[in-house]
């Protein structure tokens, strides 16, 4: 009997990046202080789909993060699906937030979704400089992969 392997790619409940950002803002607003928000973010990281150990390599590593962060991307039916993990609990939660906003979106939607939402939600200001730089590196990596996939899809499309 074969055991089914869980899909490691994150499937957000919200249908758009804007809806995901709004929902995250509402969820964070429930908490009175940043310690409670951090605990909530850590819990989000614990709920990420299992990330394959074989993908925890340099090819999937996000450069610029103080902690180890790995991201994988897969192009499916016009959308970029993302999987991610970190070796640090709070960073795993930040990965979960990023995947919630960007996974399952078209390259155009990803490009149009400025990571400024992180600052607007107060996340960047509440993090250490190194963690803030790491989140920015994650956003940059996701957006670069979306741009690459978008260009590849365009190149593969026949001319009208």
Ordered domains of the chain (ranges, CATH): 17-152 (3.90.1010.10)
Q: Model-level pTM? A: 0.85
CA distance 135 to 141: 10
Instruction: Tell me the chain's radius of gyration from C-alpha atoms.
Output: 16
2 compared with 136, residue with greater pLDDT: 136
Region of residue 106 (left: phi > 0; alpha: psi -120 to 50; beta: else):
beta
Catalytic residue among 65, 95, 139, 142: 65
Residue 123 DSSP SS3: helix
Over residues 99-118, the pLDDT tens digits come to: 999 999 999 999 999 888 88
Beta strands in 24-127 (DSSP E): 69-76, 79-86
Confirm if 138 and 124 have CB atoms less than 8 A apart.
no
Over residues 135-160, the pLDDT tens digits come to: 888 888 888 888 876 666 555 544 44
Active site residue 88: no
Residue 54 DSSP SS3: helix
> Tokens 């614990």 sit at which residue?
46
Which pLDDT belongs to residue 150?
62
Over residues 13-72, the pLDDT tens digits come to: 999 999 999 999 999 999 988 889 999 999 999 999 999 999 999 999 998 877 899 999
Confirm if 100 and 93 have CB atoms less than 8 A apart.
no
Question: Do β-strands 79-86 and 69-76 pair in parallel, antiparallel, or remain unpaired?
Answer: antiparallel
CA distance 30 to 33: 9
């Amino acid at each position: 009997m074969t055991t089914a392997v869980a899909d490691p790619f994150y499937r957000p409940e919200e249908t758009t990046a804007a809806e995901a950002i709004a929902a995250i803002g509402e969820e964070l607003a429930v908490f009175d202080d940043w310690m409670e928000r951090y605990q909530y973010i850590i819990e989000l990281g614990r709920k990420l789909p299992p990330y394959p150990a074989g993908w925890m390599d340099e090819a999937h590593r996000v450069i610029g993060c103080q902690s180890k962060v790995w991201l994988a991307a897969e192009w499916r039916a016009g959308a970029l699906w993302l999987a991610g993990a970190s070796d640090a609990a709070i960073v795993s939660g930040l990965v979960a937030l990023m995947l919630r906003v960007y996974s399952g979106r078209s390259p155009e939607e990803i490009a149009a979704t400025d990571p400024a939402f992180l600052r607007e939600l107060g996340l960047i200001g509440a993090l250490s400089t190194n963690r803030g730089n790491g989140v920015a590196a994650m956003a940059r990596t996701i957006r670069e992969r979306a741009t690459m996939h978008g260009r590849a899809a365009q190149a593969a499309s026949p001319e009208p």
